[in-house]
Amino acid sequence: MLTKYLTYREGFRVKFLKDFTNKDVVDICEYVNMHLNLNCRPEPISEGGLILASLGYKSMRFAGGEHNSWAGIYPDTFKKWTDEDTVIVFGKKGSSMTTFLKAFDNATPWTINELSTFRDIFERLGFKITHFPAYLPKKEK
């Protein structure tokens, strides 16, 4: 497990080599759920992000620059997004976003394994990680 620093800290940066869609969000959550046995879902916050249902509050927020707008999230959103290719406002091809990691209220801090799993699925979906913070290990080639 990483240190206390990963309870509130900048994560990695992503460059969109293709449009970032609602379906991509579902694919990310399904991959994370399968590989980490977590309950990942879109988080109902204005800047967008993913929430990991666990003890406490654990979130990967999305900072999409000037166009920080996330669709309304409702109980049936995840199911509706499964086959939806709607582009997320800040996720147009060529743009970038920074992730921000939060773990509060007795949630476990972010682990190297969790962040590596997120990095892997973003890359599998065709996005480029342009910055992986120095406090995280580099991906083996």
Q: What is the pLDDT of residue 19?
A: 92
If one compares 138 and 112, the residue with the highest pLDDT of the two is: 112
58, 118 Cβ separation under 8 angstroms: no
Instruction: Give the model confidence (pLDDT) of 9-63 as tens digits.
Output: 888 999 999 999 999 999 999 999 999 988 999 988 877 899 997 678 999 998 7
What is the C-alpha separation between 134 and 141, in angstroms, rounded?
17
Q: What is the pLDDT of residue 58?
A: 93
Q: What is the pLDDT of residue 6?
A: 64
Instruction: Give the model confidence (pLDDT) of 61-95 as tens digits.
Output: 987 655 556 777 777 888 888 888 888 877 889 98
Q: What is the pLDDT of residue 3?
A: 46
What is the C-alpha separation between 136 and 141, in angstroms, rounded?
15
What is the C-alpha separation between 34 and 14, in angstroms, rounded?
22
Q: What is the pLDDT of residue 1?
A: 46
Q: Return the exposure string of 51-73: e unless at least 16 CB atoms fall within 10 Å of the residue's CB, then b.
A: bbeeeeebbbbbbbeeebebbeb
Q: What is the pLDDT of residue 31?
A: 96
Q: Residues with Cβ < 8 Å from 115, sequence gap 6 or more?
A: 11, 12, 101, 136
Q: Count of CB atoms within 10 A of residue 5's CB?
A: 12
Q: Report residue 4's pLDDT band, with 50, 70 and 90 as the boundaries.
A: very low
What is the C-alpha separation between 93 and 127, in angstroms, rounded?
9
If one compares 23 and 7, the residue with the highest pLDDT of the two is: 23
What DSSP string runs through 107-134?
PPPP-HHHHHHHHHHHHHTT-EEEE--T
